Amino acid sequence: MKKVYLITLFLFFMLFINACASKTGHQVATGNAIEQQENVGINKGELPPDFTITTIDGKQYRLSQFKEENKPILLYFWASWCPFCSRDFDVVKNIYPKYADKVTFLAIDLDLNEDKELISKYKEKKGISGIDFAEGKTDILSDYAIKYTTTKYAIARNGLILYKGSGVFNEQQWEVLFNALVSS
């Protein structure tokens, strides 16, 4: 009987802890107002971790600036040796120009051994224009738990993750993703 009581108490305690650890955000009292804050995380509906990065062309981006400017951004994690990335770039380079003025496309190299010169040569060889390329940074790759090439994070105008996934996209999938970002 005592064992059943302890198990019931343990289960109640676990349910209570889970109920208190809500994933929908938390409230912070600021003066007399209560403000809802978004969760920072790497899943759909969350506010992605902020970072600052410099592209191979010398542009500096702070991820949170896109939310401030109400502009969507696509983060794409890739490597020059990846055949799937090559296929993705072959398709998207023909589609992205239609969306370039509405969506920023930032390709971050996940191979930390690849430098600015190698990335620049790759971009030129593939005939890619309009997409911003950057060398990888350990903290970004870690914060976003990047394990695979072709990983995509579509971040809406409101700064929240609209889509997260990996794998090669065809023309239709790219179109759907860009249209979702534009209308976000």
Buried b (16+ CB within 10 A) or exposed e, 147-166: eebbbbbbbbbebbbbbbeb
Predicted TM-score (pTM) of this structure: 0.79
Note the pLDDT of residue 149. 97
Cβ atoms of 134 and 55 closer than 8 Å: yes
Note the pLDDT of residue 39. 87
What averages of pLDDT result for each successive group of 10 residues across the chain (184 residues)?
43 35 36 53 96 98 96 98 98 97 98 98 97 98 97 98 97 98 96
Cβ atoms of 132 and 103 closer than 8 Å: no
Which residues have C-beta within 8 Å of that of residue 124, sequence separation ≥ 6? none
Note the pLDDT of residue 25. 39
Half-sphere exposure of 99 (CA within 13 A, CB side): 23
Cβ atoms of 140 and 156 closer than 8 Å: no
Please list the helix, strand and coil fractions of the chain in percent, rounded to the nearest 5, in that order. 40, 25, 40
Pick left, alpha or beta for residue 124 (phi over 0 → left; psi -120 to 50 → alpha; otherwise beta). alpha
Question: DSSP string covering 41-53, please?
Answer: SSSTTSBPPP-EE
Note the pLDDT of residue 29. 36
Instruction: State the Cα–Cα distance between residues 153 and 161, nearest whole angstrom.
Output: 7
Domain ranges of the chain: 2-37, 52-182
**Can you identify the CATH homologous superfamily of domain 52-182?**
Glutaredoxin (3.40.30.10)
Note the pLDDT of residue 23. 37
- The alpha-carbon radius of gyration of the chain (Å, integer) is 20
Residue 7 token pair: 């198990």
